[in-house]
Amino acid sequence: QYVAGAYFARGLSVYRDFISFQPPLYTWILGVVFDALDGWYLLAARVVTWLLAFGSCALLFSLLRSCGTARVGALALVLAFATSPFTKGPLVYSRNDIMPLVFLLVGLRLCLGADGAISQSAARTMSGGFFVALAAATKYTYVFAAPVLAAAFLYDEYVRREANRPFRAPRTGSFLA
């Protein structure tokens, strides 16, 4: 379904010329890779998926480290994640499960500073919101990540206000934009 959809998307329109049961972003991105390689479609799809799985492990390690997890603990958690059934699939199959996770983790990485606290930069927050939206555009189930992150931003703003710091609700607006 995923490889064939990307192959067809090279010259046909999704939903007009053929049916896809997923949002078209993964299909379009993989179609661009197919156009660039012009052959070896299944192998190319698996390599792209493997690279995305590796990237998600690297991003997860980075997020764990920024939140204060020790290096050995972060590595153990990433190894547990990498050997979980969710991540073992992308190493064998070519599916769209891992691309939205990478987009979500990039969004989180942008929203969190090096110290694990929510970033004070509106540009980083807006970029993070863009990547979370890309995750939802790649797989429908990721649409629930944005409200959870928005609630975290609002809670962070509430804590800042209660600590007699200025209330910066526009940061939450930047994320949602």
**pLDDT at position 131, please?**
94
The pLDDT of residue 11 is above 80: no
Rounded CA Rg of the chain = 18
The pLDDT of residue 170 is above 90: no
| C-beta of residue 3 within 8 angstroms of C-beta of residue 40 | no
Helix (H, G, I), strand (E, B), or coil: what is residue 23? coil
In whole angstroms, what is the distance from residue 36 CA to residue 4 CA?
16
**pLDDT at position 39, please?**
78
Contacts of 105 (CB under 8 A, 6+ apart): 56, 59, 60, 63
Mind listing the pLDDT tens digit for each residue in 27-70? 888 888 888 888 788 888 888 888 998 999 999 999 999 888 89
Instruction: Summarize the confidence of residues 67-92 as an average pLDDT.
Output: 85
Burial environment of residue 115 by CB neighbours within 10 A (0 to 12, 13 to 18, 19 or more) = exposed
Q: To which residue do tokens 């547990």 refer? A: 80
Q: For residue 147, name the pLDDT band (cuts at 50, 70, 90).
A: confident
DSSP string, 88-129: HHHHHS--SSHHHHHHHHHHHHHHB-TTSSBP--HHHHHHHH
**pLDDT at position 37, please?**
87
Instruction: Summarize the confidence of residues 94-103 as an average pLDDT.
Output: 86
Higher pLDDT residue, 42 or 172?
42
**pLDDT at position 166, please?**
52
